[in-house]
Structure 1
Amino acid sequence: MKYLILIYGNAETRQVWDSLPVEQRSAGLDAYAKLTADLAASGELIANAALAQPSAAKSVTVSEGEVVVSDGPFAEVKEYLAGIYLIECDSERRAIETAARVPEARFMRVEVRPVVELSDFL
């Protein structure tokens, strides 16, 4: 089964990250590199990505056939999506174990959500 691991952040956690000594930030990045390498080696990794700050987002809607693009996220939020892992593994338990390895899981929310196939809606 495929699972999407959603990593959330907020302005406060970003400030904490930015204020960490270089050694601690390096250790955090090393933890991500190890997680990514382990998932790739096990064949569970489909994709992963870090996302730009919400201020770089564009909201796209279509109104009366016209594409409307707005700057920034659609709604003001306290938390924002900071990154993702898309994995394929044998169980929800394994997906949760993987999410627990995300460094932010110690102080922020990391969500595990099953991915449904479009054929599931037919």
Structure 2
Amino acid sequence: MKYVILIHSNPQPWGHPTSDFLAEHQELPAEERKRSNADFETMLTQLSQSGELVGGEALAAPSTARLYRWDAGRRVATDGPYSETKEHLAGFFLIDVASQERAEEIVQSFSGPGETVELRPGWTGPTA
């Protein structure tokens, strides 16, 4: 079963890893931040070695995004990421795991203080 892990963020200033730019993460003791980062890298290595990590990538600054919508029957391009919010998609990981339970176990390692992470299964077709 494939799942995408979506990393949502709103750090100011922009940078990667996004957690380094979040006040809640910066308030943690330096040793805890260092250990957390090392644990995350270890987890990514293990997922890669097991074949569960299909891929992933950090995304460029939201100021580089463009949105394409329809308005009055025409395509209209606007600056992104979303005009309604300051939160944006910072990056993603694609995993392929045996079960939803395993996906939920993995995604917990992607979330820390001040972060929002979304776990969404890949679409497998009509269910009705």
Q: TM-score, normalised by structure 2?
A: 0.70
1:45 aligned onto 2:48: no
Point out the more displaced range, 13-22 or 29-38: 13-22
Contact map agreement 1:60 1:70 (CA 8 A) in 2: yes
Match of 2:105 in 1: 97
Deviation at 1:8, TM superposition (A): 1.7
Deviation at 1:2, TM superposition (A): 0.5
Q: Say if 1:98 and 1:60 are closer, same or farther in 2 by CA, change over 3 A.
A: same
Residues 38-83 of structure 1, C-alpha deviations (whole Å, 9 max, x = no match): 1111111111111223222111235688653222223231432222
Tell me, which stretches of 5 or more residues in structure 1 are unaligned?
none
Match of 1:116 in 2: 123
SS in 1 for 2:47: helix
Partner AA of 2:2 in structure 1 = K
Identity among equivalent positions (%) equals: 36
Q: Within 5 Å, give how 1:12-27 maps onto structure 2.
A: 14-16=21-23, 27=35
Contact map agreement 1:99 1:105 (CA 8 A) in 2: no
Q: Say if 1:28 and 1:69 are closer, same or farther in 2 by CA, change over 3 A.
A: farther
Q: Say if 1:18 and 1:55 are closer, same or farther in 2 by CA, change over 3 A.
A: farther
Deviation at 1:29, TM superposition (A): 4.2
Tell me, which stretches of 5 or more residues in structure 2 are unaligned?
13-18
Q: TM-score, normalised by structure 1?
A: 0.73
RMSD, aligned α-carbons: 3.2
Q: Within 5 Å, give how 1:83-94 maps onto structure 2.
A: 83-94=91-102
Distance in 2 separating the partners of 1:25 and 1:59:
35
Return the structure number with greater helix share: 1
SS in 2 for 1:41: helix
